[in-house]
Structure 1
Amino acid sequence: MKIPDAGAAPQRDAPVLGRRERKRQQARDQLYEAAVGLFVAQGYEATTMEQIAESADVARATVFNHFSQKVGFLKEWGARRRARVAAILGQEHAENLPVGDQLRRYLREMADLNVATRAETTVLMDASARFGRLMQDPSLETELAKIVEEGQRRGEIRPEVDPGQAGALLAACYFSSVLRWIREEPPPFDLPGRLVGALDIILLGALTAP
């Protein structure tokens, strides 16, 4: 599966923007790409807002107009990755799959994106865990909870299952797996396989049938 450009915002179903909005989005994209490049090259902590402004060739105030704090780039990074995966799944009409397969496709695409951008993921995910609100941000668990809710509407998931709790459990599993993965080399740690395996345990349970 071809992974979209890591710096590009998804265009699927994007509204038509006016000239001012286009220029603002272009400036935001330019700052984002400059920041991620610096984070990967020299580390998150070592990168300053002044360096980001210089790399993007804009005034320092322009950076703060788009990202009031450096941690805002971490939040943007996570949001763009989720949006790219959602765009891929939308193009494949993954919403028509059984809910278990939807969840597997979602986590596998997220894993494949991490594998394809390992250096970036290593720096940005670690920084998100240390300086951001990685485990407190409900964005990923909300996306996963929506899939669980759809499964309940279809009768594929038991009605007593709390979608929010299921989403939180799946998101925590995802983040903990990626954080372990970025500290190991790929060969002994198959991230896509590990995530899908954990999902199957959650979906199917660990106990044998009575």
Structure 2
Amino acid sequence: MNVETDTPDRRERRRQGTRSRIIDAALELFAECGYAATSVDAIAERADVARRTLFNHFPRKQDLVVVWAGERRKQLSLLVSEDSAHARTGASMLRRQFDLLAEENERDLTLASVLVQGWLVEISDLAEVFPVFTSFRDAVAVGQGSGEFTDGISADAVCEVLTAVYTDTLGRWVQPQAEGDGPPFSLRAAMRAKLELILAGMSTQGHAGS
């Protein structure tokens, strides 16, 4: 009789599988019931894990929102790597990132709404700062390195400005819909319009290249 050995790799796969089940269960419940109305106990029950197991993976409910936001950032970082390999401009890299963020939120409005509200509800004190999209900074650095963007600006400062533009625009787009109204504007168009203003201000030629 073959007895499977409980190797470190197998334990890690089980751990990741449990983590994924918890995340999936949380996202389903957030979409069904809303973030605030979803309890940790409900998430544990949906994921078929003990409450203690859930807390071993996610000490706070808001950590599930942090993971969701982190996945968005990973996607953008991959885009930056791909674009750098194909010698894209800094402006085109930023446009692609803003378009991807808009598409992701427009694709699943319900989930975007409850998670944005969850972030605002939970991450609202000075101990927690909304994390910036470092992929924005990386794209700005590419543009500065090629002479496309002026080197008289801080890539970190631009990164913070772009993150603030994204989060504020997303909040303005989500809020009316969370109250039962239709989309107040096209998220992609609004994000693009604001990005173009920033690109024009950074351009060494007085306008951003494609």
TM-score normalised by L of structure 1: 0.82
Between the aligned partners of 2:105 and 2:164, the Cα distance in structure 1 is 16
Q: Select 1:164's aligned residue among 129, 153, 156.
A: 156
Mapped contact 1:99–1:156 kept (Cα < 8 A): yes
Deviations 1:39-88 (A, max 9, x none): 1111111111111110001111110010001110110110112223444x
Any idea what the Cα deviations from partners look like across 1:92-119, whole Å, max 9, x if unmatched?
A: x322211101000001001100000110
Aligned to 1:68: 59
In structure 1, the residue matched to 2:90 is 99
Moved more, 145-154 or 157-166: 145-154
1:18-167 equivalences under 5 Å are 18-87=9-78, 89=79, 93-95=82-84, 96-132=87-123, 136-140=129-133, 142-167=134-159
- Structure 2: gaps of 5 or more residues: 1-7, 177-181
Measured on the aligned residues, the alpha-carbon RMSD in Å equals: 2.2
Q: Which residue of 2 aligns with 1:197?
A: 193
Count of equivalent residues: 187
Q: Cα offset for 1:147?
A: 1.2
| Large movers: runs of 4+ above 4 Å | none
Tell me, yes or no, if structure 1 residue 175 matches structure 2 residue 167: yes
Work out the CA distance in 2 between the residues paired with 1:42 and 1:72.
18
User: Equivalent residue of 2:11, what SS?
Assistant: helix
Q: CA deviation at 1:31?
A: 0.1
SS at match of 1:202: helix
Query: Which has the greater radius of gyration?
Result: 2
Q: Which runs of 5 or more residues in structure 1 are unaligned?
A: 1-16
Confirm or deny: 8 A CA contact 1:67 1:73 kept in the other structure.
yes
* Cα distance change, pair 144–85 in 1 and its aligned pair in 2 (3 A): closer
Q: Percent identity?
A: 32
